[in-house]
Structure 1
Amino acid sequence: MATTDITKEPHMGTPLLSVEGLAVDFNTTDGVVHAVEGVDLEISEGETVAIVGESGSGKSTTAMAIIGLLAGGGRIAAGSIRLDGREISKAPEHEMRAIRGRHIGLVPQDPMSNLNPVAKIGTQVAETLLAHGLANRQNVSAKVVEALEAAGLPDAAKRAKQYPHEFSGGMRQRALIAIGLACKPRLLIADEPTSALDVTVQQTILDQIGAMTRELGTAVLLITHDLGLAAERAERVIVMHRGKVVEQGAAKQILEDPQHPYTQSLVAAAPSVAIARLRPEAFSAPKDGEPSRADGTPSRGDSGDGSLSERSERRTERAKRVEVTKRVERAQRDETATPDGAASEPSASATDNIVEFENLTKVYPVRGRGEDFVAVKDVSLVIPRGETVAIVGESGSGKTTTARMLLKVIEPTSGLIRFEGKDISTLSRAETRDFRQRVQPIFQDPYSSLNPMFTIERLIAEPLEFYRRGSSADRRKRVRQLLDDVALPQSMLRRYPSELSGGQRQRVAIARALALSPDLIVCDEPVSALDVLVQDQILRLLGDLQREYGLSYLFISHDLAVVRLISDYVCVMKDGVLVEAATSEEIFTNPRDPYTRRLLASIPGNELNIA
């Protein structure tokens, strides 16, 4: 894998970009917010510089100030921004329009809000080329295809004629990358450019950016919360905290010997395959010698053959007690209790595997084509009670489709999904209502999963109100407790999603999923939008909840470093097929399938020890 030499010295001479004493203020209803204070940075021709920090640290605001795209109410209060020696901090808008795209390119983070939903992808790429005179009507189509191919989109000519809703999240992000790189700018601002991409596509995109840096002298300002990526790709790292630069220097020096306490906390919280020793006890793999099935789950057959680790035994016994309690609560709520008022003991299946997939297949008919699209093919796996099963794979591998079938959002074409031994396709209306309370999702995109018209308090309380859980006072108390659980201040209650950062929005989504105290949580990329500190906090929160309540998780992710930390078992999918399944330890230390080995080889920082 082509990477930037992290030991390379910073470039000498006149910098391409020079920022001195930058301060950015925002006028809000609560007064002036000083989002950025006294930021200094330089980027030379061909240099890659990464800005890292948690959500709200000011890293994206700094980038948006450089390109002149501050959000409403924002203004540059002080400081200087010079591009190739020319002051641009006070440049009029018509001059900035000429600079954007041609001289400074931008790859924004959120593909949903940055692509026009009613314009074809090719049209949106062409707009940039035509606006800067880099193409004409005769050759623009060919240049659009070239830009999409450079961004890693297969069958680019066909994709150019499609709309954003026909693309997966990763494909939409690649389209944004194509737009940002189309004009071959001298400086590329990449704001979390690969947060929605699987590791192999991430490698392709970052290699492409690296190639531009070498061949064209293009400088890159990389905004990221992924320290493995920063260590591998950047020559220098700038650490921001609460609007200020707290440390900067060569990437190797920053990550191996951080000086500032905040930088030290970032490095300590960074997930990495190389630092498996940081795995919380709740997420540790089964002990050596514990037998496992071919599908990667522990051998807990009815015959009782095979021994469990002490952790699994404790978790199973705890799950039994929790399950009895929850069954009593459900019986009382649905008025279906046994004559003596207590629920019956859970069945063997209720205390072993909470979910079983059997030959699960999903086929989509495609209009105008002779062949249908097989999204998931003959997948069989189980989720043991109180355990975490992760499904990994590239975009389009079928992992999210599998999760949606479990959530009863879509119906399988064939095969069975059993929840506590019962086929979920046969559930009555009352049973379905109970099932939806006990199985909750956490979606990938906090922008589209939260109602922008609701306050944070109402968003979190909504499932409690829908299922009539407790009194109004009880619900208010529960909402405040959930805010504490996901590390959000009580002052957030009256705010709206638009007033929160991406990481804060995802924490709200997680709090809402936890509101009903479910038995199984389907996590579809739940931490992909979070910085490393909050990501670490959320993963530990999930671990604490699992230990306390015997929760089970189906964890969908393209971030294998995170999967290494959280999963007990890993299932690898490719083109809708389950190609390998085993314990987490086995997958990461002894992968058998070539595709699994390729995924692991693509992880940024896989060979770096940044602990």
Structure 2
Amino acid sequence: MERMPQDAAPLLQVRDLAVEFATMDGSVRAVENIGFDLAAGETLAIVGESGSGKSTTAMAVIGLLSGNGRIAEGSITLDGQELVGAPESVMRKIRGRSIGLVPQDPMSNLNPVSRIGTQIAETLLAHGMATRSNVAKKVVETLAAAGLPDAEKRAKQYPHEFSGGMRQRALIAIGLACNPRLLIADEPTSALDVTVQKTILDQLGRMTGELGTAVMLITHDLGLAAERASRVIVMHRGRIVEQGPARQILEDPQAEYTKALVAAAPSVAAVRLRPEVFRGTATKTTDSASPTPLAPAESAPATATPPATATPRISQAPGAAADVANILEVDGLTKVYKVRGSKEDFAAVKDVSFAIPRGETVAIVGESGSGKTTTARMILKAVDPTAGAIRFDGQDVASLNGRDLRSFRQKVQPIFQDPYSSLNPMFTIERIIEEPLVFYRRGSAKQRAARVRQLMDDVALPQTMLRRYPAELSGGQRQRVAIARALALSPDLIVCDEPVSALDVLVQAQILRLLGDLQREYGQSYLFISHDLAVVRLISDYVCVMKNGELVEAATSEEIFTNARDPYTRALLASIPGNELDIAV
């Protein structure tokens, strides 16, 4: 990495920064007394829990605070130019050309009715980085540099035709398009699998070394911060509590809050959060022993799980008899999509078979586009399979209708990857969480209100947020609301599609423990989809590895993480950022 001379002025200087937001309860100061320098060619990571002020600080630098926010005090200079108070006309020239941005949420930052290539072309043309004659070529080059395969084809597609990880890569392409001097990356790889994450981070590293581009990396991934940043700033409740060299901060933290962050960081070397797998020592009931007083009026008796010596199957041949030990069984699942403008169909999932033992967790891992989410959507009966069978509690899911389908919807609940698009922006947080209780007529109004408050406590959100709307919450806070909503009906199976990818490590650890506690006490079952193998190591009993729509390896979690057999699985494990660092307790 190229270093600036000792007497050279920093590229970015932040001094005594304070940001306030106007709310229904009055003015709230989100960050205060923030000060730091960032040199050309340096990568600075800002870490901290959701709501600590990380993203607010970044948005203040680029002048993109929400309408109710303002810089109350302080100075921000870029290469000596004061940005605080600069006219919008000046900031428009700076954004994209001098300061690039990779925002956290791809769905709310990509135009849904504009092709991906068009959106990148607009950035290049607006800042004079391309002409009408060569912009198409530069768009393809930009997408390829961001790690998107078949870039020429992808440039012609729309955001809804991309997976979550592909959309995030498109945002990264836009942020890097003009080779900015400063790149603000707000959780730039939170939706990406580890192999693509490595590609993107390597690209950011090359920019830092070759072009002298400074990177402000906002992340909750301490391993990533330790591996990619030269310095780390730790924020808590709007203030900086510690800053210094990355390895020093993460290996020898001084502040109590930093110590708590490091202790909560997941590691692939960590042991399973729930050391003893649920084996019939408790049964889920619908009486007073239920985790919630809002249980359905009618419920089938719980099925006993096998003794501790039994080994539940992970894969099952198509046509095999149902095993009562499994809450869900998938046989030969296949999903084929028609591709517009192409004679060839696209097989998103190809002949996948596995089972979820009752009261246990099966994780599906793999790269973006490997078929993980498509498999989950078929299990949720949100997408119909092209071939194969899905059985829940011994019933064929495809044949469910009427009362049986209504019962299935209550027993199988999702936690989606993107909390912004899965929460109604017109509903308050209270109404969002209460919605499934109202729809399925669970309890009285008083009981529902109590249940909502209990769920807010469970996911570590203050009850004062109940009157707020999704747009007033951070990405991590929105995801906790989505988790609370999924837990509201106390379902038997929860399909978790990247449920903690947007959460900081402290809340992530709390949510994982909550999921583990529910499983231990009530026999909760989970299908856990994630690209974060360290999290999978903590939560899963079994792991299925998917690549290009196919199941390439399936085994116990212990076998996968200690003795992976497939080269692709070994490549995934080798790509985890910070895996070689001893930063987890």
TM-score (structure 1 length as normaliser): 0.89
Partner SS, residue 19 of structure 1? strand
The equivalent of 2:394 in structure 1 is 421
The equivalent of 1:361 in structure 2 is 334
Q: Give the distance between the partners of 2:5 and 2:400, measured in 1 at CA.
A: 63
Q: After alignment, is 250-259 or 99-108 more displaced?
A: 99-108
The equivalent of 2:187 in structure 1 is 192
Structure 1, residues 150-185: CA drift from partner, whole Å, max 9, x if none?
111111111111111111111111111111111101
Kindly indicate whether residue 435 of structure 2 is the aligned counterpart of residue 440 of structure 1: no
Kindly indicate whether residue 115 of structure 2 is the aligned counterpart of residue 120 of structure 1: yes
Identity among equivalent pairs (%): 75
The equivalent of 2:536 in structure 1 is 563
1:452 equivalent among 392, 417, 425: 425
Matches within 5 A, 1:133-532: 133-274=128-269, 276-277=270-271, 279-280=272-273, 282=274, 284=275, 311-312=276-277, 315-319=279-283, 333-334=297-298, 352-532=325-505
Partner SS, residue 546 of structure 1? helix
Q: Is the 8 A contact 1:272 1:605 kept in 2?
A: no
Q: Is the 8 A contact 1:316 1:351 kept in 2?
A: no
Kindly indicate whether residue 93 of structure 2 is the aligned counterpart of residue 98 of structure 1: yes
Deviation at residue 316 of structure 1 after TM alignment: 2.2
> Relative to structure 1, is the Cα distance of residues 492 and 421 closer, same or farther in structure 2, using a 3 angstrom cutoff?
same
Letter in 1 for 2:429: I
The equivalent of 2:63 in structure 1 is 68
Deviation at residue 10 of structure 1 after TM alignment: 10
1:44 equivalent among 39, 42, 54: 39
1:544 equivalent among 491, 514, 517: 517
The equivalent of 1:34 in structure 2 is 29
Q: Is the 8 A contact 2:284 2:302 kept in 1?
A: no
Q: Give the distance between the partners of 1:173 and 1:596, measured in 2 at CA.
A: 23
Letter in 2 for 1:375: A
Q: Is the 8 A contact 1:197 1:395 kept in 2?
A: yes
The equivalent of 1:108 in structure 2 is 103
The equivalent of 1:304 in structure 2 is none
Q: Give the distance between the partners of 1:505 and 1:479, measured in 2 at CA.
A: 15
Partner SS, residue 248 of structure 1? strand
Q: Give the distance between the partners of 1:590 and 1:353, measured in 2 at CA.
A: 25
Letter in 2 for 1:399: K
The equivalent of 2:74 in structure 1 is 79
Q: After alignment, is 317-326 or 414-423 more displaced?
A: 317-326
Q: Give the distance between the partners of 1:176 and 1:10, measured in 2 at CA.
A: 33
Deviation at residue 132 of structure 1 after TM alignment: 1.2
Deviation at residue 29 of structure 1 after TM alignment: 2.3
Matches within 5 A, 1:564-579: 564-579=537-552
The equivalent of 1:298 in structure 2 is none
**1 or 2, which has the higher helix percentage?**
1
Q: Give the distance between the partners of 1:331 and 1:171, measured in 2 at CA.
A: 40
Q: Is the 8 A contact 2:193 2:368 kept in 1?
A: yes
Partner SS, residue 571 of structure 2? helix
Q: Is the 8 A contact 1:12 1:44 kept in 2?
A: no
Q: Give the distance between the partners of 1:584 and 1:512, measured in 2 at CA.
A: 28
Structure 1, residues 563-601: CA drift from partner, whole Å, max 9, x if none?
011111100000110000111111011110010011111
Deviation at residue 519 of structure 1 after TM alignment: 0.7
> Relative to structure 1, is the Cα distance of residues 58 and 70 closer, same or farther in structure 2, using a 3 angstrom cutoff?
same
Q: Give the distance between the partners of 1:346 and 1:180, measured in 2 at CA.
A: 53
Letter in 2 for 1:104: I
Tell me the number of residue pairs that the alignment of Structure 1 and Structure 2 aligns.
567
Letter in 2 for 1:263: T
Matches within 5 A, 1:582-601: 582-601=555-574
Q: Give the distance between the partners of 1:101 and 1:467, measured in 2 at CA.
A: 48
Deviation at residue 50 of structure 1 after TM alignment: 0.3
Kindly indicate whether residue 124 of structure 2 is the aligned counterpart of residue 129 of structure 1: yes
Deviation at residue 345 of structure 1 after TM alignment: 6.8
Q: Is the 8 A contact 1:394 1:574 kept in 2?
A: yes
Structure 1, residues 350-381: CA drift from partner, whole Å, max 9, x if none?
85111111111111223443322111111111
> Relative to structure 1, is the Cα distance of residues 320 and 478 closer, same or farther in structure 2, using a 3 angstrom cutoff?
closer
Q: Give the distance between the partners of 2:280 and 2:142, measured in 1 at CA.
A: 53
Structure 1, residues 306-365: CA drift from partner, whole Å, max 9, x if none?
xxxxx34x5323237789988xx999835x99xxxxx59769878511111111111122
Q: Give the distance between the partners of 2:353 and 2:202, measured in 1 at CA.
A: 36
Q: Give the distance between the partners of 1:252 and 1:82, measured in 2 at CA.
A: 28
The equivalent of 2:318 in structure 1 is none
Q: Give the distance between the partners of 2:358 and 2:554, measured in 1 at CA.
A: 17
Q: After alignment, is 486-495 or 47-56 more displaced?
A: 486-495
Deviation at residue 96 of structure 1 after TM alignment: 1.2
Letter in 2 for 1:369: S
Q: After alignment, is 578-587 or 10-19 more displaced?
A: 10-19
Kindly indicate whether residue 569 of structure 2 is the aligned counterpart of residue 605 of structure 1: no
> Relative to structure 1, is the Cα distance of residues 47 and 200 closer, same or farther in structure 2, using a 3 angstrom cutoff?
same
Q: Is the 8 A contact 1:151 1:208 kept in 2?
A: yes
Q: Give the distance between the partners of 1:512 and 1:156, measured in 2 at CA.
A: 38
Letter in 1 for 2:136: S
Q: Is the 8 A contact 1:525 1:555 kept in 2?
A: yes
Structure 1, residues 505-541: CA drift from partner, whole Å, max 9, x if none?
1111111111111111000000011111111110011
Partner SS, residue 116 of structure 1? coil
Q: Is the 8 A contact 1:440 1:522 kept in 2?
A: yes
> Relative to structure 1, is the Cα distance of residues 422 and 331 closer, same or farther in structure 2, using a 3 angstrom cutoff?
farther
Q: Is the 8 A contact 2:219 2:225 kept in 1?
A: yes
Give the unaligned 5+ runs of structure 1.
285-310, 338-342
Q: After alignment, is 358-367 or 572-581 more displaced?
A: 358-367
Q: Give the distance between the partners of 1:176 and 1:589, measured in 2 at CA.
A: 35
TM-score (structure 2 length as normaliser): 0.93
> Relative to structure 1, is the Cα distance of residues 345 and 386 closer, same or farther in structure 2, using a 3 angstrom cutoff?
closer
Letter in 1 for 2:449: R
Q: Is the 8 A contact 1:485 1:541 kept in 2?
A: yes
Give the unaligned 5+ runs of structure 2.
307-321
Q: Is the 8 A contact 2:32 2:238 kept in 1?
A: yes
Q: Give the distance between the partners of 1:122 and 1:509, measured in 2 at CA.
A: 32
Q: Give the distance between the partners of 2:125 and 2:483, measured in 1 at CA.
A: 42
> Relative to structure 1, is the Cα distance of residues 538 and 464 closer, same or farther in structure 2, using a 3 angstrom cutoff?
same
Structure 1, residues 94-124: CA drift from partner, whole Å, max 9, x if none?
1111111111111111111111111111111
> Relative to structure 1, is the Cα distance of residues 400 and 14 closer, same or farther in structure 2, using a 3 angstrom cutoff?
same
How well do the aligned residues superpose, as a CA RMSD in angstroms?
2.3
Letter in 2 for 1:319: T
> Relative to structure 1, is the Cα distance of residues 121 and 428 closer, same or farther in structure 2, using a 3 angstrom cutoff?
closer
Letter in 1 for 2:282: R
Q: Give the distance between the partners of 2:578 and 2:20, measured in 1 at CA.
A: 35
Structure 1, residues 68-102: CA drift from partner, whole Å, max 9, x if none?
11111211111111111222222211111111111
The equivalent of 1:306 in structure 2 is none
